[in-house]
Structure 1
Amino acid sequence: MLDYAAFPDQRQVLIRRILQQEGRVVCVELATQLKVSEHTIRRDLQELANEGLCKKVYGGAVLQLPRADDFAHRKEQDFAKKDIIAHRCAQLVKGDSCIFIDAGTTNLAIARALPADMRVTAVTNSPEIAVELMKRAQGETIVLGGLLQKAQGGCVGSAAVDQLRGIIFDQAFIGACAMNAEIGLTGFDFEDCEFKKAVIRQSNEVVVALTADKVPGVARYIVADAGEIDVMVVEESLGKDIYNAFKARDIRIYTV
Structure 2
Amino acid sequence: GAISLFLNIGTTTEAVAQELLHHANLMVVTNNMNVANILVANRDCQIIVTGGTLRRSDGGLIGTLATETIRQFKFDLAVIGCSALDGDGDLLDFDIQEVGVSQAILRQSRRTFLVADQSKFKRSAPARIASLAAIDAFFTDRPLAPDLAARCAEWGTEIVISA
TM-score, normalised with respect to structure 2: 0.90
Matching residue of 1:28? none
CA distance in 2, matches of 1:194, 1:117: 30
Which consecutive unaligned segments of at least 5 residues does structure 1 have? 1-94
Which consecutive unaligned segments of at least 5 residues does structure 2 have? none
* RMSD value, Cα: 1.8
Query: One-letter code of the match for 1:105?
Result: T
CA contact (8 A) 1:107 1:173 kept: yes
Query: One-letter code of the match for 2:101?
Result: F
Q: Which structure is larger by alpha-carbon Rg, 1 or 2?
A: 1
Matching residue of 2:16? 110
Matching residue of 2:83? 177
1:216-235 Cα distance to aligned partner (Å, 9 max, x none): 65420010122111110011
Q: Which has the higher contact order (CA 8 A, sep 6+)?
A: 2
CA distance in 2, matches of 1:238, 1:227: 14
Query: One-letter code of the match for 2:50?
Result: L
TM-score, normalised with respect to structure 1: 0.59
Tell me how far 1:135 sits from its aligned partner: 0.7
CA contact (8 A) 1:178 1:219 kept: yes
For 1:137, which of 40, 43, 50 is the aligned residue?
A: 43
CA distance in 2, matches of 1:214, 1:160: 24
1:214-256 Cα distance to aligned partner (Å, 9 max, x none): 1365420010122111110011343444322322221011111
Matching residue of 1:12? none
- Aligned to 2:9, the other structure's residue is in SS state coil
Query: One-letter code of the match for 1:176?
Result: C
For 1:162, which of 46, 65, 68 is the aligned residue?
A: 68
- Aligned to 1:145, the other structure's residue is in SS state coil
CA distance in 2, matches of 1:112, 1:104: 13
For 1:124, which of 30, 38, 51 is the aligned residue?
A: 30
Moved over 6 A (4+): none
> Mapping of 1:197-208 within 5 angstroms?
197-208=103-114
CA distance in 1, matches of 2:47, 2:40: 7
* Aligned sequence identity (%): 27
CA contact (8 A) 2:21 2:41 kept: no
For 2:56, which of 140, 146, 150 is the aligned residue?
A: 150
CA distance in 1, matches of 2:122, 2:154: 15
- Aligned to 1:248, the other structure's residue is in SS state helix
Count of residue pairs the alignment pairs up: 162
1:82-116 Cα distance to aligned partner (Å, 9 max, x none): xxxxxxxxxxxxx8210000010010010001142
CA distance in 2, matches of 1:128, 1:217: 24
Matching residue of 2:94? 188
Higher strand share: 2
CA contact (8 A) 1:216 1:242 kept: no
For 1:244, which of 147, 150, 154 is the aligned residue?
A: 150
Query: One-letter code of the match for 2:107?
Result: R
CA distance in 2, matches of 1:234, 1:156: 25
